[in-house]
Amino acid sequence: MIFQELNNSICKTYLLGCEATGRALIVDPVSTRTDRYLAMLAYHGLNLDYVLDTHTHADHRSACGELSVLTGAKIVRHFTGPQPNADIHVLDGDPLVVGNIELKVLYTPGHTPDGISLLGPERVLTGDSLLVGGTGRTDFAAGDAGQQFDSISKKLFTLPDETLVFPGHDYRGNTQSTIGHEKRNNPRLAGKTRDQYIAIMDNLGLPLPEQIQEVLQINATDVEDSEINYPSICELNEVFQMNAESVLDETGADSSTLVIDVRQDQEFNGELGHIAGAVLIPLNRLAAKTTEFEDDRDRKIITVCRAGVRSTTAAAILTALNFTDVHNLKGGMIEWIRKGFSVERKG
């Protein structure tokens, strides 16, 4: 097996290649390094089958989309990922086969809701769930410290102690660790209860990554458009989130509520379908389309997308444009389906 970290920086990108078959996977590619990744594939004589982000990144642009266009590789994401462009949605325990190498998907949310780790021969790629001597922060992007503790303690820390750990980031010059070493020595985890861990994570006081409002939203939406004025983190946090039951109550046959679905055209009638009566206005067309519902500025509006991320951006944009009663479906169509509510699909 060819295994190589490609960036030599704090952001880690991993190449896994099968020498026998010439097939490859790249994990967590960074947009500024695409040329290097293509060069390394050519150097090793590998064809790229898959590109994968372990989670929705907030500190750098993902290169998954670009590499997919350039090589034909399939984009792999967890089912809860908010992006519209996944070719394969995976769940906990799913296999991912690269040539003769079989990997296993571990669902490890907490840093973000869509976080996964990849278990391979003698090693695990932990994304930003488990770092060397640390863990990924949980104070933005719908992070959840308790969920992260559970992911690490009940999933990653049940792996054999000798399992090599390759994280998504490192800020101290480390390249790898082992599960056993992190269980014994990680200062945030060793000997800590779940409540103690939550208290630690709630009081880190770290500054937000530079350009987070644009990077996070571009990675979550797969929309990079200079005409979109992405809301600030504060504006996103102020969006009123409605649970699926409340949205159901607001969207009956006689309701005056306007439901705006901001996904792409192919998603609207795709695997998740859409809420009956919803109006499709993709996020990148939203601001330009608002002139078509000028008379609805005081009408209740509920924004919807796949996982509730793009639609939170949409709700903040509409609020900034002086629409007065805008809400978002928390968890998006994934949550709507999970609750068993009906959808429409029109071919």
- Shared domain for 196 and 227, answered yes or no, is no
Over residues 208-222, mean pLDDT: 84
Q: Which amino acid is at 61?
A: R
Biggest alpha carbon–alpha carbon distance for the chain = 64
**pLDDT at position 212, please?**
82
Please check whether residues 33 and 179 belong to one and the same domain: yes
Domain CATH for 330:
3.40.250.10
Would the pLDDT of 227 be above 90?
no
18 pLDDT more than 80: yes
| CA–CA distance, 101 with 119 (Å, rounded to integer) | 11
Identify the DSSP state of 121. T
Same domain for 280 and 168, yes or no, is: no
**Same-domain pairing of 47 and 144:** yes
Q: Which residue from 219, 199, 281, 203 is spatially nearest to 62, judged by alpha carbons?
A: 219
Show which of 173, 202, 231 is a domain's final residue: 202
Per-residue pLDDT tens digits for 165-192: 999 999 999 999 999 999 999 999 999 9
Residue 215 within a domain: no
Average pLDDT rounded to a whole number, residues 9-13: 96
pTM score, two decimals? Answer: 0.91
Q: What is the pLDDT of residue 347?
A: 61
Task: Over range 145-165, report the average pLDDT.
Answer: 99
In a domain, residue 166? The reply is yes
Q: Name the pLDDT band for 233 (thresholds 50, 70, 90).
A: confident
Work out how many domains the chain is built from and give that number. 2
Asked whether residue 210 is domain-assigned, the answer is no
> Do 168 and 259 share a domain, yes or no?
no
Boundary residue ending a domain (202, 231, 262): 202
Which pLDDT score is estimated for 319? 96
Residue 210 pLDDT greater than 80, yes or no? no
Residues 18 and 101 both lie in one domain: yes
Question: Would you say residue 262 has pLDDT above 80?
Answer: yes
User: Pick the residue with more confidence: 207 or 3?
Assistant: 3
Q: Which residues span the domain enclosing 327?
A: 223-338
15, 87: one domain: yes
The string over 119-149, giving b where at least 16 C-beta atoms fall within 10 Å of a residue's C-beta and e elsewhere, is bbeebbbbbbbbbbbbbbbbebbbbbbebbb
- 77 CB-near residues (< 8 Å, 6+ apart): 52, 53, 83, 86, 88, 89, 90, 114
196 and 229 share a domain? no
Q: Are 119 and 127 in contact (CB under 8 A)?
A: no
Q: Confidence class of residue 67 from pLDDT cuts 50, 70 and 90?
A: very high
Q: Is 240 inside any structural domain?
A: yes
Residue after which a domain boundary falls, among 172, 202, 232: 202
Q: In terms of domains, do 172 and 270 share one? A: no
CATH number, domain at 54? 3.60.15.10
